[in-house]
Chain A
Amino acid sequence: MNRKLTTKQKKELREIIIAFVLLVLLFANEHLNLVPVLNDIIWLRLVTYLVPYFLAGRDVVRRCFLGIKNGQIFDEKFLMTIATIGAFATEEFCEAVAVMLFYQVGEFFQGYAVGKSRESIQSLLEIAPEYANVQREDGSIEVVDPDDVEIGDILVIKPGEKIPVDGTVIEGFGLINTSALTGESMPREVKTGDSIISGCVNGENLLKVKADKEYDDSTVAQILELVESAASKKSQTEAFITRFARYYTPIVVIGAAMLAFIPPFFVGNFTEWMLRACTFLVISCPCALVISVPLAFFGGIGAASKVGVLVKGSNYLEMMAHLDTIVSDKTGTLTEGVFSVSAIHPAEGFNEDYLLRMAAHAESTSTHPIAVSVVKAYDGTIDPADVKDVENVAGKGLKVAVAGKVVLAGNVRLMNDAGIVLEDKDIIASGTCIYIAIDGKFAGSIEVADSPKEEAVRAIAEIKREKVSNVVMLTGDSKETAAKVAAELGITDFRAELLPQDKVAVLEEILSSVSNKEKERVAFIGDGINDAPVLSRADVGIAMGSLGSDAAIEASDIVIMDDNLERIPAVIRIARKTIAISKTNIAFALTVKIACLILGALGIANMWVAVFADVGVAFICILNAMRMLKSNS
């Protein structure tokens, strides 16, 4: 125990220790007969045992009576009180005190463990700014609550301070640490005019920021809201516990009542059977499950937020553990959004090299990303003297004289305007394509495509290692381009030539092809900007690179704060660990409890075992669930 205890805990611990010492002394006296008078007069013996009993357990007794007054019988306190009173009644003084003491020790550890897990969760959420420095018109600086910052206020953010609300830098530059939000350890560079996001920590320099949003609308408040309310969307595992408790509790209470009243009719010894019934009830308390399973899920959600992934509910975390198929949008998600030439289709009578050379010369006059990619694909040198009479046709393309020939490079409309009719086979319906005409004759087309993100290749390999059976790429590109990109990414399954509105249908088809809907979940990854319907149709919608984008956060179930795909396998691992811990806890707690219940009914398990089965099991389960809070994957 390295953490400090609260005052309340210290007091409890002190009382437990004193009560324990007293009990040992009394026990020794009983067996060695050091002070015979205490053993000989029964009421004196009772009184001496009642001292440690009340020292350790007076709160339990008090709560028992308060419970009765409020109509809440059959809670743990009630059961413990009845059980120990029963032990006193049968003159088992030592056992009565010991059981109460043991119960309190268990409660103490349980309380400590819960407090500690709460602390770890709080520290995961330590992104909330405590104050904001607002610069007033007269230049004075007022420290206010972030809630009181108004849109347009000028905020002064000193080095090391948290950015209180979303805003724009109006003075200063420097590095800000976004790791609390994104899990990204590299600080982000900001300068005047850049927008910055609340919850990040300012680096070494002073920044002046104009508030763009109120605190409640700022990223940090939204994230906190999400994570805190995530627990209310319950996973199936949690729902199982609730359902289970609904049948379990009445069955156990009826069982205990039968145990207390039926056997004594035949064999007598009412007190003995009453005690067995109490033992039975103490064992049965479902606390271990009720605490540890939600705790594991909360811990899992916390661990995910630590690596920059917001999971909007326990149910989504659970689905991540059962992923069968990941469907991903291509552009901007799997690829950089930076173009390179992927295919060259020369028309009849032209060859590839000639087409590319002419196109590269024409495009060398433009700085458009597509133009740059064409120039880059050309190996030879471009002689600027060959390029003349550049005419930029807005929204359509270029008209350039290259080595004495008129080259048109642009889209279909540019061709049509020049009276060049393209046949159907010449038109590349999807993807990004530049059509080239030379001296009024169609010469072919050049297709450009995005290059895959480096981390996407790694992420997909890792996702496959996590035994997600399918990764499907959706794209508007032509089949050839799509096949090429997919191969580079290590993806075998792709759907090409899709129009944006086709994506939902494709997803539907994939969803319906899954055989076991409970165990084989389908996730969709997109940038959240124009694929909101797909995001919401998938079992799990994952939005990428959406820090500060409200729409994406709204539409998706899981938000990856930076746009690093490698967070996905990390979340899958976190989810699997959460499920594994929950299942272990359920299996362990139920096995121990059922075994003890049977032993208790047979009279083999006494109150000691009962207290272990209740508090001990809860404590062990909580410790197990706490592993989730410690994991840094």
Chain B
Amino acid sequence: MKKKFKLENLDCAHCAQKMEDAINKLPDVEECSISFVASKMTIIADEEKMDAVVEAAIKEIAKVEPDCTVVL
């Protein structure tokens, strides 16, 4: 299952790269891509695990850029 999220206050491009790498390392994440230019995150994960994955992803994002928020 594929889900898309808008990111707010994503201000730094290599932070986006760092977030993407960190989220891709999470268990249960099949694929994650963050587009800095479009300010969008796409996550592919198992439908049942999606909620947990998104929650973990939000934590990873906050670690890299504390001001960046995910619009749910």
Contacts and interface: CB of A to CB of B under 8 A. Distances in A.
Contact of A114 (B11, B17, B18, B63): B11
Nearest to B22: A72
B66 A228 contact: no
Given A70-B63, A72-B64, A287 B35 contact: no
Nearest to B14: A290
B19 to A, nearest CB: 11
Contacts of B35: 228, 231-232, 294, 298
A273 to B, nearest CB: 27
A622 to B, nearest CB: 10
A298 B36 CA distance: 10
A13 B40 CA distance: 27
Range, interface on chain A: 20 to 34
A294 B12 contact: no
Given A63-B66, A66-B66, A71-B63, A290 B37 contact: no
Nearest to A8: B9
B14 A298 contact: no
B13 interface: yes
A228 B14 contact: no
A22 interface: no
A228 B39 contact: no
A294 B13 contact: yes
Given A72-B64, A111-B11, A114-B11, A290 B38 contact: no
B14 A231 contact: no
B69 interface: no
Contacts of B15: 75
A420 B13 CA distance: 75
A232 B42 contact: yes
Interface string B8-51: 00011111011000000000000001011111101000000000
A229 B42 contact: yes
Contacts of B40: 228
B37 A121 contact: yes
Interface residues of B, number: 20
Nearest to B40: A228
Nearest to A114: B11
A287 B13 CA distance: 7
Contact of A298 (B11, B18, B38): B38
Contact of A286 (B14, B62, B64): B14
Nearest to A291: B13
A118 B13 CA distance: 13
Contacts of B14: 245, 285-287, 290
Residue from B14, B17, B33, B64 with most neighbouring chain A CB atoms (10 Å)? B14
Interface string A91-121: 0000000000000000000010010011001
Interface string A172-191: 00000000000000000000
A295 interface: yes
Contacts of B66: 63, 66, 70
Nearest to A117: B37
A285 B12 CA distance: 11
Interface string A287-299: 1001100110010
Contact of A287 (B12, B37, B63): B12
A262 to B, nearest CB: 28
A305 to B, nearest CB: 13
Contacts of B62: 70
Contact of B38 (A71, A231, A242, A245): A231
A564 to B, nearest CB: 28
B53 to A, nearest CB: 18
B38 A291 contact: no
Contacts of A121: 37-38
Nearest to B62: A70
Contacts of B12: 76, 287
A231 B37 contact: yes
A71 B38 CA distance: 27
A291 B35 CA distance: 11
A287 B12 CA distance: 8
A298 B17 contact: no
B36 A294 contact: yes
B33 A232 contact: yes
Given A111-B11, A290-B13, A228 B38 contact: yes
B35 to A, nearest CB: 5
B11 A295 contact: no
Interface in A280-330: 285-287, 290-291, 294-295, 298
Contact of A291 (B33, B36, B64, B67): B36
Contacts of A66: 66
Contacts of B67: 63
Contacts of A70: 62-64, 66
B64 A294 contact: no
Nearest to A63: B66
A118 B63 contact: no
A118 B39 contact: yes
Nearest to A288: B13
Contacts of B37: 117-118, 121, 231, 294-295, 298
A614 to B, nearest CB: 12
B68 to A, nearest CB: 11
Contacts of A294: 13, 35-37
Contacts of B17: 242, 245, 290
Interface of B: 11-15, 17-18, 33, 35-40, 42, 62-64, 66-67
Given A242-B17, A294-B35, 18 more contacts: A63-B67, A66-B66, A70-B62, A70-B63, A71-B63, A72-B64, A76-B12, A228-B35, A228-B38, A232-B35, A285-B14, A287-B13, A290-B13, A290-B14, A291-B13, A294-B37, A295-B37, A298-B38
20 contacts: A63-B66, A66-B66, A70-B62, A70-B64, A72-B63, A72-B64, A118-B38, A118-B39, A228-B38, A229-B33, A229-B42, A232-B33, A232-B35, A286-B14, A287-B14, A291-B13, A294-B13, A294-B37, A295-B37, A298-B38
Interface of A: 63, 66, 70-72, 75-76, 111, 114, 117-118, 121, 228-229, 231-232, 242, 245, 285-287, 290-291, 294-295, 298
